[in-house]
Amino acid sequence: MPLVAHNDLPSFNRLRGEGIRVLAPDFALHQDIRELHIGLLNMMPDAAIAATERQFFRLIGESNPIAQIYVHPFTLAEIPRSEKAQQHITQYYETFDQIREQGLDALIITGANVIGSDLSSQPFWEPLIEVFDWAYENVTSTLCSCLATHAVLEFRYGQKRVPQPEKKWGVFPHQVVDNTHPLVVDINTRFDVPHSRWNSVTYEQFQVAGLRVLAEMDDGCVHLATSPDGFRTVFFQGHPEYDTISLLKEYKREVVLYSRGEREDYPPFPENYFGVFEKAVLNEYKLRLDEAIKNNSFLPELPEDLIVSRLNNTWHDTAGEVVGNWMGLIYQITNSDRKIQFMDGVDPDNPLRL
């Protein structure tokens, strides 16, 4: 299922360099294959905006159903941006008005960085509700990632996320708890997912909302769920889109905050991510960093080159399968006019029996 490079977004060239198949528009027009148009509402902060594009583009481009995929990134004008990030958005992104006019087959909503725990006070709150409500009525399926899941659970289902005493940070094992849903067909029954969050929506809250839980952690924390109909909304509470080095980058950001005195304690290791060797290297680095801070001398660089090649990715394959299943589901129940359709013999009240 190749991506179509319908504009000059730099992420397309980066993905080509990784071996992801990306078609030129003139070549795509000669292919007798149906198109799928996927929106990407990218609410991530400036430093992560391009990486988030690539992470979701990669998962979409590696999915299996036969179609040509046009991904339409857009963001919310209410999210403050630097001049450089705004330039990127102006040059490569579409507006919500353009998205609404052209229509979509499916929509992905990313997470976002927030100040404080109250989501309803964030600048993106009202415009996000507008986008989601439009998508719910006009788009086959919307996939919500992490904070977007928390926001939708609050404004649509009345379930506010719960602050956690400690950050859920690392790579955690999960178990499929409902193997009859098309999203989890033929995936590993146990699989890993990265998480990085201070808040959680509990299993009980998903149940009260009437949502269908498909996968959870050993401690009962939900990662994957759907709306009651099984396809209109898909919820990720973790970050299966993460690159192998994403948690290392987050760890480095926290170390930098510590070195500047903007964080009191030295950050703990993300769980189940670094091995014995990497922890030893980083513990040694902490000693050198503390000594340099104490002596007000030159701060040493984090020795990333000793760590990157030793990191393991234990989640990407399953993430690709889940997203591939999602894309296949959209392809099967959406016609070329972006209207939900059902194959012969399929019960419209139970469309997942495909």
Point out the residues that are catalytic: 146, 239, 241
Whole-angstrom distance, CA of residue 222 vs CA of residue 10: 34
Q: How far apart are CA 214 and CA 209, in angstroms?
A: 14
CA distance 204 to 220: 9
Residue 41 main-chain phi, psi, to 5 deg: -80, 100
Q: How many Cα atoms occupy the beta-carbon half-sphere of 341 within 13 Å?
A: 11
Sign, Cα dihedral of 55, 58, 59, 61: positive
Query: DSSP string covering 232-292, please?
Result: SEEEESS-TT--TTHHHHHHHHHHHHHHTTSSSSPPPPPBTTS-HHHHHHHHHHHHHHHHH
Cα separations (Å) of 333 from 204, 234, 310, 328, 344? 30, 15, 42, 9, 11
- Angle ∠(214,218,222) on CA atoms, nearest 5: 40
Instruction: Note every long-range contact of 216-225, with CB atoms under 8 Å and residues 24 or more positions apart, other chains counting.
Output: 216/174, 216/175, 216/177, 217/172, 217/173, 217/174, 217/175, 218/172, 218/173, 218/174, 218/175, 221/168, 221/172, 223/174, 223/193, 223/195, 224/174, 224/183, 224/184, 224/322
